[in-house]
Every structure is written in structure tokens, then in C-alpha cells.
Amino acid sequence: MAEDMFEQFREHSVAEFFKKNRQMLGFSGKVRSLTMIVHEFTTNALDACEEAGILPEILVEVEELDRNKDHYRMTIKDNGPGIPKSHLGKALGQMLAGTKFHRYLQQRGQQGIGAAACTMFSYVTTGQSTKAVTCHKGKRIVADIAIDFKKNKPVITVLEENSAEETGLTVTAEFKDVRYERSNYGVYEYLKRTALANPHCSITLVEPDNEQTTFPRSVEKNPNRPYEIQPHPLGLTPHDLLEFAKHSRENKRLSSFLQNTFARVSAAKVNELRELTPKLNFNKRPDKLTWDEAERLVKAFSQVKWIAPAMDSLVPIGKERVEASFTNIFNPEVLMVTERKPKVYRGGIPFMVEVGIAYGGGVSAAQKRGEVMRFANKVPLLFDAGGCAITETIKTMDWKRYNIRNFEEEPIAVLINLVSVHVPYTSAGKQAISHEEDVMLEIKNSVMEASRGIQRYISSKKKAHEIATKKKVIGRYVHQLSSDLASLADADAERIEKKLNKLIEERYVRRKEEGDSTENN
């Protein structure tokens, strides 16, 4: 019996794993699957353009080949730097291969799975390979790309090679088991939100009925580039430290290794570390570091006062841009956008949360009651809201404290963008943020900060309403009172009424101002 079991023992490639579990990559449901394809190629295009310093220009074309068979052809074209021939196959036909996985850099992609996942999905639903046209450094390559699933290796057939002046990548692939729809989970909504968070890019969508929509560029300059940082000492586990040490060839001594490999480690800091770990030899070769020594070093890291990770390594959407986008979409009565400093999670991975809250006005008209728009590194997250730390935080907020009686029913729209060099997604489909304590706390603090602004507005509106009501009530008696006073004092009723009215007017104006200034403190 047990022998039979181990005759069944097999090794599998990551491509086979995700082929069988494509729902883990977000390929579940027809509409969602189509959106995921656009998501993967659009995020890659934006990352490549920004890294090469090119203003992004993206075309997404959805052709319906046979609606009854849920059969579509997708074309995604960008004006990025293109991909050299040497890397084309792996970039599109091998999972866990790419330029992003190992870098401490804010990027949309971070796994090296997405593009190959689309090639896989196309192949398993249609039997077709994926066609790529890449223009890179004067060369234009046309190629067909498939995946050898058993080995997780690309199968590439180069069809054409000639010269080109422009740059860019165009990917064309057929898919079945997908469907185009203009729903909240469809490509249109996805691109609209992408444009909202990325006003420097121009996106054109051609829908199956040939309707063409351009989400135009509204900012003629790429955002500041997030830059690659060195890992911060506070984010390191002993294991991380040993991994870096093991592969450190250029540093002969532990002291120089620490200074050259990690952020904020100066010679002075090394001296502090020396004092904290008197038995550790800082002249030893880094690849001779033991687990125990690494553990002592990590403990020492936590006892030293460090400068925080480089703040400008992270680039949020930005307050002005969020305000412009929100005003544009909702024209709300009131709008609050936070601008908070980056924080770290798991000790030293930098991240930043920006929150925009729009209330009233067009929010109500757009029927967006209790709307939450989630983003990670400026990428819209349309799916898996249920398991996401952002949704969870919104749910556990005590909205009544902010004069929001029932979040679901009030005209309130919340935008939350989490920016990080490594976004902790719950699954390879990258649609929900994992419940990291530090991240959740910062989301909560940011939402609370923005909510206080909304609360001030609502309560001053409420107070103004109360004052107006009181004024009206008192006003009702002024006329009668004036004439009674006039007959008692034998005075002019009209003059008394005027004086009383003036008194009321002044009094309530003053009180309203006092109320406002109290609210603002």
C-alpha cells in the first residue's frame, strides 16, 4: 500500500502548478479573467515606460472572435523600451523570471509571473501561442511564444527580424473562456481607475463593438521615479542577513559588507554595533558569518537608533493628483486627501498609505454610496475585496465617531493607495493585501486622519443647520415681542424689531465663527 503511494511521487514545475490552479493567478470567472489579462500587460507596460523615462501611451484592443464560444483576441501595445531578443522568450514564456522579483523598488509587478501566466492561459484555452512584436534599440523582432509546462521554459519561434526606429512592445493573443463586459469588474472600469491613479499616461481602449475611448494624459510629465534602495537593517531577519553575506564577494570584511549592502549603515553605526556585540569579529569574512552571529547582529540592529528608510524611494499618486481626479469624477461637497510619511512593516520594508475621501455632491449622484477604491502601487484592485486588509480596515472603523451613521448608505467615496517596495499580496493574483499588522494600523490612521476632515465638515454643516433653525424659531417671536415691548414702553415697534433682528443676526454669526474655529483646532 505505502509502496504504491511513493510510486506516485512526482516533481512538478511552477508552470504546471499555476496551470492547474489558475484561479490563484486571478483567472476565475470569464469577465475577471479578461480583466486580469489587461491588468498584467498594462502594469508591465507602465513599469517599463516609467523605468525607461518614457511618457506611457497604451493601446488595449479587445476583439470578439466568437461570443458564443467566449472567444476573444486581445492586443496590448505600449511605447516602452521593448524587450531584447535575448530575454523575450523568458519574459513572456517562463514563470518566476524577470527584472523585478529581487529588487527593493516600488513597481507594479513584483513576481515575474503575470505575462507568462497570460501566455499559459491563452495556450490552454485556445492551443495558440502568443505573438509578440518588440522594438528595442533599433531592432524589431516578431516572435511566437509558448511555454514548455513540464520544464517551465519558453518555446520561442522568431518569425521576423528587421530594423525599427520606434520602441515598444505589442502582444497579441487569443483567449477562450473569457468575456467582455462593461461592468464594475470589466476592462473599462479597470482602465478608468488606472487612468485616475496615473494621470501621466494615455490609455486607449477599443471595445469589441469598435467603440474607441481614450483616457487622456492630464499631466505631461512622468512622476518622480521611485528608486531602488538597499534593504534597511530593521527589515532584516538573520536568514536575510546570512543570504546577503553568503553572496557577498566584493566585501572582505563584515564591517564593509554591512556598510555597502544595507541602507543607513555608516562607519559610526558599525562602531555602535561593535559595542553591542563585543564578542563578534567585524573583520571576519562575511561568508563565514554563523546563524548565531547573525541573530546577535539583528538583535543589535534593533537596539541602535536608525535613520528611517529613504522616504523618496516611494512615489505616491500625490495629493494634488488625487484631488484633481476626485474633483473631476465626483465634484464632491468636501474632499480630504492625506499626505503622510512612509512607515515600515516587518521591521524595515518601507511603505506609504495615501487616502482620499470625497463626501456629498456628485458622489451621491454617481450612486457611489460607501464606495472603496483600492490601489496598490497605483494599480487598481478590483477583485477579492473580501479578503483585503483595506476593506477589513474600513469595515472595522467606528464611522459614527466621524458623523457617518452608516458607511454603506452615505454619499462617501474612499480611495486608498498602498505604495511599497514589496506589496504583501494574499495571493499570486495580486488583488488583495495581506493582514500585516503595521500596514493595517497605518491604513487605519490614514483613513482616520482624512475622516476627521470630513467630520469637521459634516458637523459644521449640522451646526449651521441647527443655528439656522434656532434663528428661525426666535425670529417667529420677534414681531410679536416688538409690538408688545412697544406698547409697554410706548416706543416705536418698528425700531425695536429692527434692533432685535440685528442682535440675533450678530449673535448667530459670531457663534457660528466661534464654532468653526473650535472645530479647526
Which residues from 123-162 bind its own copies, rule CB under 8 A?
A: 123-125, 127, 136-137
330 interacts with its own copies by CB under 8 A: no
Nearest to 475 by CA among 510, 502, 512, 511: 502
Residue from the set 31, 103, 227, 272 that interacts with its own copies by CB under 8 A: 103
Query: What is the edge-to-edge ordering of all strands in the sheet holding 57-66?
Result: 153-163, 139-148, 130-136, 168-175, 71-78, 57-66, 202-206, 212-215
- The answer to whether 215 touches 203, Cβ cutoff 8 Å, is yes
Closest CB to its own copies among 199 and 424? 424
Q: How far is CA 280 from CA 227, 258, 263, 302, in A?
A: 33, 13, 21, 16
Nearest distance from residue 429's CB to its own copies, in Å?
A: 8
Residue from the set 166, 279, 295, 452 that interacts with its own copies by CB under 8 A: 295
CA-to-CA distance for 136 and 144, rounded, in angstroms?
Answer: 17
Nearest distance from residue 254's CB to its own copies, in Å?
A: 17
- The answer to whether 173 touches 122, Cβ cutoff 8 Å, is yes
Residue from the set 66, 68, 86, 163 that interacts with its own copies by CB under 8 A: 86
316 interacts with its own copies by CB under 8 A: no
CA-to-CA distance for 179 and 125, rounded, in angstroms?
Answer: 13
Q: How far is CA 454 from CA 83, 196, 356, 414, 447, in A?
A: 47, 22, 10, 11, 10
Grid cell, residue 63, equals: 476583439
Range in contact with its own copies (rule: CB under 8 A) among 202-210, 273-281, 289-297, 461-469: 289-297
Nearest distance from residue 241's CB to its own copies, in Å?
A: 10
Nearest distance from residue 282's CB to its own copies, in Å?
A: 20
Nearest distance from residue 281's CB to its own copies, in Å?
A: 19
| Per rule CB under 8 A, count of chain residues that contact its own copies | 76
CA-to-CA distance for 103 and 230, rounded, in angstroms?
Answer: 9
Closest CB to its own copies among 325 and 431? 431
Residue from the set 81, 356, 380, 411 that interacts with its own copies by CB under 8 A: 81
67 interacts with its own copies by CB under 8 A: no
Nearest distance from residue 24's CB to its own copies, in Å?
A: 5
Q: Which helix (H) or strand (E) holds 416?
A: strand 412-420
CA-to-CA distance for 93 and 130, rounded, in angstroms?
Answer: 9
Burial category of 286 from C-beta neighbours within 10 Å (exposed 0-12, middle 13-18, buried 19 and up): buried
- Residues 343-402 touching its own copies, rule: CB under 8 A, are 384, 386-388, 391-392
Half-sphere exposure of 399 (CA within 13 A, CB side): 16
Rounded to whole angstroms, the maximal C-alpha distance in the chain is: 116
Residue from the set 74, 197, 314, 428 that interacts with its own copies by CB under 8 A: 428
Q: How far is CA 384 from CA 108, 182, 373, in A?
A: 18, 19, 12
87 interacts with its own copies by CB under 8 A: yes
510 interacts with its own copies by CB under 8 A: no
422 interacts with its own copies by CB under 8 A: yes
Nearest distance from residue 157's CB to its own copies, in Å?
A: 16
Residue the block writes with cell 549592502: 261
Range in contact with its own copies (rule: CB under 8 A) among 190-198, 215-223, 423-431, 500-508: 423-431
Range in contact with its own copies (rule: CB under 8 A) among 76-84, 317-325, 468-476, 509-517: 76-84
Residue from the set 172, 183, 427, 459 that interacts with its own copies by CB under 8 A: 427
CA-to-CA distance for 318 and 51, rounded, in angstroms?
Answer: 19
Site string for its own copies, 236-275 (x = CB under 8 A): -xxx--x---------------------------------
Closest CB to its own copies among 2 and 488? 2
235 interacts with its own copies by CB under 8 A: no
Nearest distance from residue 195's CB to its own copies, in Å?
A: 25
